[in-house]
Structure 1
């Protein structure tokens, strides 16, 4: 029987240059979709999937992320004194259990693969989930939970994928699809940021992974790949020679919140899904003569 996935890794060391000047002092992972930071959405998704331990790979000027996942007694005391018990309870529910969060540093921006390797000692030699906080999903159940279902059946390594136009594949890791249905099919090949003519499909890796610990051994000596960085896709391609990889074409919608259009779209979609602000927000949008149906 395969080992249970108990730990999730969150790479949060990026500089967020596409959102400057907003991210000059504020980590991009703390940018909010409505009123929740991007990193909170990723942690919520992991908790829903049964994750118990949360490992954050940080960099300089990221201390605010650690503070976010800690209790703030002055704030709690103030909320309690003002009778805002519902807000106080929501804040407490957002926090992982005591002793379940760990933080380590990626001193140099050497790529996603290097960030994952930096988490090796905290993860230990067991399977783990990897969630990229830039990717926010609207899915029920959450994407990682859908992947966990495949893992319980297939074991091995699991990757969430989605379709994009062929013209866009050069921005992503791309997989070749083998046998199986959308809930779990064999992956036969992976390539990082191929030219459209060279891409094995239009199925891209969507920022959610379940990986076996052998990947740490490969990342130890992984040469730099696309963009001069250590690419996790290159290590997974090597791992594919000895271990199975399963793709899950998840049910739901993704928002690339590392890009302005994706981030703004996510704010609109999630705001319209909120009972407490939907009507007022929709009314304001209609004042702008934007054609949005009820």
Structure 2
């Protein structure tokens, strides 16, 4: 069966980043660096690896740095070029003309509302959603794994990870159905932040989605849910049964960079993997730990 390809991705980046104050008073949390790349760059690189062409950023006030990051820095490039420095390091920040779109979410009404703000750009195509706070680290990337599954089963897909039972109330949780493969499972229900002891499983939604365009019509009529916000999980739950819905268990590592501890863990883990600094970082960590 021929399916429409996933060409577009939505990045909801309008959040205030209050958990990282005062660092995020003037710098968007998505621009905070993990080693030497801003968090948003990791998500965009993952999208590009998966073959996605158009990046749609749903922004808010104070997010101009994200737009500047994916633009041509003429003065910087001219200065570096004049000094004989390699410009390849800036290559991933330069997206083709027209492939970088920005739309505003004027009010903080929830993730579902942020996705809905991109409805006219998404149009009638299936699309991906990336939550940049979730740094998904693996090869192939999380979205590449999901698109491989999409090519097999179509419909809607979400990435999931298994977590301890005492953590499920912080996330959207799936009710799993029949297993298609070891890493692909039908989804029979979704619950946003269930109370402890009432979750249908311990498999949480981990920040990557492939959705059919019909979700936009559902979101348009979606009422506020948990936290008084329009929840994407609630809208997706209403689509189950009408369209295929599956969960892909990501073969890789997830870092919750929306938390300070997760951010530090991601920085340390990725630095340790780097050929240009891994051994030195390991020595620093051992010295600090007195090992």
With normalisation by structure 2, the TM-score equals 0.97
Moved more, 48-57 or 183-192: 183-192
Aligned to 2:34: 33
Tell whether 2:24 aligns with 1:9.
Answer: no
Partner of 1:248: 248
Q: 1:95 and 1:43 mapped to 2: Cα distance? A: 11
> 1:184 & 1:244 partners in 2: Cα distance?
12
State the partner residue of 2:45.
44
- Distance across 2 between alignment mates of 1:250 and 1:280: 30
The RMSD of aligned alpha carbons is: 0.9
Q: Secondary structure at the match of 2:254?
A: strand
Match of 2:118 in 1: 119
CA contact (8 A) 2:43 2:135 kept: yes
Q: Structure 1 stretches (4+) deviating beyond 4 angstroms?
A: none
Using the alignment, how far apart are the partners of 1:281 and 1:76 within structure 2? 30
CA distance in 1, matches of 2:264, 2:7: 32
Match of 2:260 in 1: 260
CA drift at 1:178:
1.2
Q: CA deviation at 1:184?
A: 1.7
Q: Distance in 2 between matches of 1:66 and 1:278?
A: 31
Task: State how many pairs are aligned.
Answer: 289
2:45/2:92 contact within 8 Å kept: no
Counterpart of 2:57 in structure 1 is 56
**Which residues of structure 2 form unaligned runs of 5+?**
none
Residue number in structure 2 paired with 1:279: 279
Give 1:90 shift: 2.2
CA distance in 2, matches of 1:36, 1:11: 19
For structure 1, the 5+ residue unaligned runs are: none
Shift of 1:182: 3.2
Q: CA deviation at 1:167?
A: 0.5
**CA-to-partner distance for each residue in 1:44-89, whole Å, 9 max, x for gaps?**
000000000000000000011000000101100111112111xx11
Q: CA deviation at 1:253?
A: 0.6
Whether contact under 8 Å (2:156, 2:246) holds in the other structure is yes
1:128-151, CA deviations, whole angstroms, 9 ceiling, x for partnerless residues? 000000000111100000000000
Q: Distance in 2 between matches of 1:95 and 1:246?
A: 33
Equivalences for residues 1-294 of structure 1 within 5 A: 1-85=2-86, 88-180=87-179, 181-289=181-289, 291=291
How much does 1:187 deviate?
A: 0.5
Answer yes or no: is the 8 Å Cα contact 1:46–1:144 preserved in 2: yes
